[in-house]
Structure 1
Amino acid sequence: MFTALLLLLGAPPGVAATRDAVSACALHGTTGWTDEGHDTDYSVFQRPAGTLKVGMIFVDFPDAPATESPADDSAQLTPGADWLWNASHGKVWLAISQNPRWVRMPHNSTDYGFARGLTHETHEAYVRDAVAAADPYVDFAQYDMVYVVPTRNAAAISFTPTYTYEPGTAGVVADGRLVRWAVTFGQDMWHWGYKLLGHETAHTFGLPDLYAFDAGSDAHRFVGGWDVMGLISGAGPQYFAWESWKLGWTDDSQVLCRASAGSDTAYLTAVEYGSGTKMAVVPTGPTTAYVVESRRAVQPDTGLCSTGALVYKVDTSAQSGYGPIQVVDAKPSATPAGGCRPLDDAPFWAGESFNDSSAGVRIDVLGADGYGERVRVTKS
């Protein structure tokens, strides 16, 4: 009888008769490279699951011979394996094997052209020289990925790009195996620390940069410190729930999708924990959606400046560095607390709401406790 009445009268106002299939919220990417789309090309990128075997090699140069121990450099990076294990809810473990000797590169450090805008070909030449120099001591056939660590004395190797093999090219081959992924660390590792490993390795999984390539007044104006793919040293470096879903660390069963007109209410457990419903998604177009998730000062996010329901817009057509995720600031006129940055106080609190009338999206935060938020998402 109740079902018949619903058919005759429709669902009560603000209540969805049925929930939408989660597939309706798994937006596809359109950039052809790293983006926030759910159709990651694993013929190009590395699957972020299980144990990944990583060979770490150490290089110095004729113009910059090493004077420190390889252990000094590796200690700056290897804690990143534990950090990624926790951030992935135990879904990825980096088994890093170190070759604890310096191998000499054939050219001076200043000859490798390290600068922003480094081309794929120039970067590949650096990887090729590093692998060839270490090949007498390392069996590259046993590794999924390579980390190349330069001596601290090589100032010219200034920053840390990620190398991904381009299908159809000769690439870099050692011990009968193609080196498909490599991270070539630079002197910025001494600034960013071990979480740099989580940022760069995630590029091999297909994640884009969330900071702005066009720095303008603030390179971190899109997401602030809310994700390691943005500001590596940010207060909340845990990967967004959307990215955790894209990477397979969050299951479809943990996603609430509201793609059609209607309303849903759900309790969201904080993304720093592995269990429970992780986010609610409201698509606004073929490549755009609003997402709400809960954040708490635990696990990788112990340094948070504010907790609550974090709302952000995803655009899977936006290229890396051009705002594929943009956080909504619940308190745009507020001054962040000391030591905090703009957007660090972005979460919505119980009793607050987000509304984009032009997109027909409303998100109400109905309540909160120590583990998450109860929210209502509405699409009109």
Structure 2
Amino acid sequence: MKRKSLVVLLVILMGFGAQSASNAASQKNPLTSTSYFDSLCSKDTKTPKYWKKLESHLSSLGLCNSGYRHVPVTMPKSQPASTYNSQSPGKVEFCKIDNYKSAGTRAFTANKDLHLNPRTKMQVLPLYSSDTAPGTGNPNVDYGGYFKYLKDFVGYVSDGPSDFSIKVPNKYYKLAKPLSTYKTEDQLTSEAIGDFAAAADPFIDFTGVDYVLIVYPPGTSIDVASQAGGGGNLRTNEGEVKHVIASSPLTYKKGKGFHTTAVLHPMHLLHEIFHPGAQLEDHNGSGYWQNANAGNRDEVGMGNWGLMSHSMTDLLTWEKWLLGFTLDEQVFCQTSFVEKDSYWLAPSGVKTTKKKLLVLKVSEHEVIVVESARASGFNYKLPKSSEGAIVYTVNTEETRWEYGLTLLRPKGTAINAKPFVLSNSSLQKGEYVTYKGIKIQVTEAGPFGDVVTVSK
């Protein structure tokens, strides 16, 4: 999250955040056999014990508690009755548009050192100092819920093989200087990163490490430490680690801004990890709806669809494809629009190797992307009314951060803010969007996902 939108983000999270006390008990989710949630912020009675105190803390501040877990789901036995293409009409390489002028990683790039991915090797670097809470605890115990969440995420969203690992020491290492000596919010200085490495390098083998996650003892003052990205490589005896992030300490007090409080939620931390790790962008457009009436109200970006749009829903399948979680074999690529074609897309939150992504190449630098959203996996809190196909554009000629991805809405659909921004813009059966003469319509829908028909 860029610094300019941190304070105003708290405003919108507080707007969403008053937790709904009840779940939508009137209708069962056929994928999970449980009741649907009213909103992404609804109280979850099955929140793991580790997170209960944080859930109460964030709720007391009026912030949204999106999911602290995931609901594993496999494909149902039901299948579409429609006729549809089972193979991609074009080679998927044709739809791998180049990142071109993108502000961050918005499309495919020659840089393959993007994390997290199914093979990421993460090293936790626990640190304390004279002005933090005592470093007497075990980081594996103190932050075990976070490490489990990260492992669960990578393991579940990887539809192919996964070899993700996190190495965690059983102690904190002492810094020579007080932590308050360094700038510890937004971006760590090269001095801080150098001193942090020096404190632990004699004790940790950094061989093969892709990403370093710094943690401080729980209870450390949030005036001393907060979440921050790395401002340079972490140099060790075993070589340099390019990707570094510090987590805000698990301290149950109201912080001065986003980087001390809201990022304590594991989904928010995951969002932040993808910034220095993969240079994924935020997708908020002007930020009018996310930033308390600032900017152009019509430039809404992805609303709250996708992890990088305020950490309320699962990572977009397009970004999962960029990072290797979604396989080439799961992608339909269409480059010609002479004939009408139909495709069956399995839900993005279901663990399967079936096709999940439809990419329509509009030009060398723009594609239309379609995926199927159901209440499952890390999207288990998705309200029933928001289930459907989501259609969005990826434009790599757009140079501005936050503007590269844009959700397409059915004609006549107003921009809504609740239960989340653009929650009403998924395509239900019979609904369609048209972009540059290309019509995308949902012609069949069910627990199995969506059948999408493309015509011109």
Q: Note the alpha carbon deviations across 1:173-228, whole angstroms, 9 max, x for none.
A: 22232122222112447634223453244345525122449644415942233222
Q: Which residue of structure 2 lines up, in the alignment, with residue 218 of structure 1?
A: 290
Q: 1:365 to 1:318 in 2, by over 3 A?
A: same
C-alpha displacement of 1:270: 0.9
C-alpha displacement of 1:334: 7.1
The Cα RMSD (Å) is: 3.0
**SS of corresponding position for 1:300:** coil
Q: 1:164 to 1:89 in 2, by over 3 A?
A: farther
- In structure 2, distance between residues paired with 1:213 and 1:261: 29
- Stretch of structure 1 that moved more, 210-219 or 260-269: 210-219
C-alpha displacement of 1:73: 3.7
- In structure 1, distance between residues paired with 2:425 and 2:157: 21
C-alpha displacement of 1:56: 1.1
Unaligned runs of 5+ in 1: 1-14, 166-170
**SS of corresponding position for 2:444:** strand
Aligned counterparts, 1:328-343, within 5 A: 328-330=408-410, 332-333=413-414, 340-343=419-422
C-alpha displacement of 1:147: 1.1
Q: Note the alpha carbon deviations across 1:54-74, whole angstroms, 9 max, x for none.
A: 221222233334377334541
Aligned counterparts, 1:176-187, within 5 A: 176-187=238-249
**SS of corresponding position for 2:369:** strand
C-alpha displacement of 1:363: 0.3
Q: Which residue of structure 2 lines up, in the alignment, with residue 269 of structure 1?
A: 346
The yes-or-no answer on 1:64 pairing with 2:101 is no
* 1:28 corresponds to which of 98, 116, 135: 98
The yes-or-no answer on 1:191 pairing with 2:259 is no
Q: 1:190 to 1:244 in 2, by over 3 A?
A: same
**What code does the residue aligned with 1:286 have?**
E
- Stretch of structure 1 that moved more, 361-370 or 154-163: 154-163
**What code does the residue aligned with 2:366 have?**
T
The yes-or-no answer on 1:144 pairing with 2:221 is no
**What code does the residue aligned with 2:345 have?**
L
Q: 1:180 to 1:111 in 2, by over 3 A?
A: same
Q: Which residue of structure 2 lines up, in the alignment, with residue 41 of structure 1?
A: 111
C-alpha displacement of 1:91: 4.1
Q: Which residue of structure 2 lines up, in the alignment, with residue 260 of structure 1?
A: 336
Q: 1:197 to 1:91 in 2, by over 3 A?
A: farther
Q: Identity rate of aligned residues, in percent?
A: 20
- In structure 1, distance between residues paired with 2:379 and 2:317: 13
- In structure 1, distance between residues paired with 2:377 and 2:183: 38
C-alpha displacement of 1:112: 1.9
- Stretch of structure 1 that moved more, 60-69 or 262-271: 60-69
**What code does the residue aligned with 2:216 have?**
P
> Does the Cα contact within 8 Å between 2:102 and 2:400 map onto a contact in 1?
no
- In structure 2, distance between residues paired with 1:214 and 1:40: 29
Q: Which residue of structure 1 lines up, in the alignment, with residue 235 of structure 2?
A: 173
Q: Note the alpha carbon deviations across 1:107-163, whole angstroms, 9 max, x for none.
A: 3333322344x3xxx533322221211123222235332211123414245543443
**SS of corresponding position for 2:195:** helix
Q: Which residue of structure 1 lines up, in the alignment, with residue 320 of structure 2?
A: 244
Q: Which residue of structure 2 lines up, in the alignment, with residue 4 of structure 1?
A: none
Q: 1:32 to 1:360 in 2, by over 3 A?
A: closer
User: TM-score, normalised on structure 1?
Assistant: 0.79
Q: 1:307 to 1:147 in 2, by over 3 A?
A: same
Q: 1:325 to 1:312 in 2, by over 3 A?
A: same
Q: 1:132 to 1:222 in 2, by over 3 A?
A: same
> Does the Cα contact within 8 Å between 2:184 and 2:227 map onto a contact in 1?
no
Higher normalized strand content (fraction of residues): 1
C-alpha displacement of 1:19: 2.7
- In structure 2, distance between residues paired with 1:190 and 1:76: 17
- In structure 2, distance between residues paired with 1:373 and 1:174: 49
Q: Which residue of structure 1 lines up, in the alignment, with residue 423 of structure 2?
A: 344
**SS of corresponding position for 1:141:** coil
C-alpha displacement of 1:30: 1.6
> Does the Cα contact within 8 Å between 2:284 and 2:303 map onto a contact in 1?
no
Q: Which residue of structure 2 lines up, in the alignment, with residue 310 of structure 1?
A: 390
- In structure 2, distance between residues paired with 1:308 and 1:254: 18
**SS of corresponding position for 2:214:** strand
- Stretch of structure 1 that moved more, 323-332 or 77-86: 323-332
Q: 1:150 to 1:314 in 2, by over 3 A?
A: same
Q: Which residue of structure 2 lines up, in the alignment, with residue 369 of structure 1?
A: 446
- In structure 2, distance between residues paired with 1:314 and 1:32: 10
Q: Which residue of structure 2 lines up, in the alignment, with residue 208 of structure 1?
A: 280
Q: Which residue of structure 2 lines up, in the alignment, with residue 132 of structure 1?
A: 198
> Does the Cα contact within 8 Å between 2:102 and 2:404 map onto a contact in 1?
no
> Does the Cα contact within 8 Å between 1:211 and 1:219 map onto a contact in 2?
no
- In structure 2, distance between residues paired with 1:189 and 1:317: 34
C-alpha displacement of 1:319: 5.2
Q: Which residue of structure 2 lines up, in the alignment, with residue 114 of structure 1?
A: 184
Q: Which residue of structure 2 lines up, in the alignment, with residue 89 of structure 1?
A: 159
* 1:286 corresponds to which of 361, 364, 379: 364
**What code does the residue aligned with 1:223 have?**
M
- In structure 2, distance between residues paired with 1:272 and 1:320: 29
**SS of corresponding position for 1:299:** coil
**SS of corresponding position for 1:130:** helix
C-alpha displacement of 1:302: 0.4
- In structure 2, distance between residues paired with 1:350 and 1:362: 14
- In structure 2, distance between residues paired with 1:351 and 1:285: 27
Q: 1:78 to 1:213 in 2, by over 3 A?
A: farther
**SS of corresponding position for 2:170:** strand
- In structure 1, distance between residues paired with 2:185 and 2:289: 21
Q: 1:205 to 1:114 in 2, by over 3 A?
A: closer
Q: 1:23 to 1:325 in 2, by over 3 A?
A: same
Q: Note the alpha carbon deviations across 1:332-361, whole angstroms, 9 max, x for none.
A: 337566xx21212321100111112xx122
- Stretch of structure 1 that moved more, 290-299 or 325-334: 325-334
Q: Which residue of structure 1 lines up, in the alignment, with residue 222 of structure 2?
A: 155
User: TM-score, normalised on structure 2?
Assistant: 0.67
The yes-or-no answer on 1:74 pairing with 2:153 is no
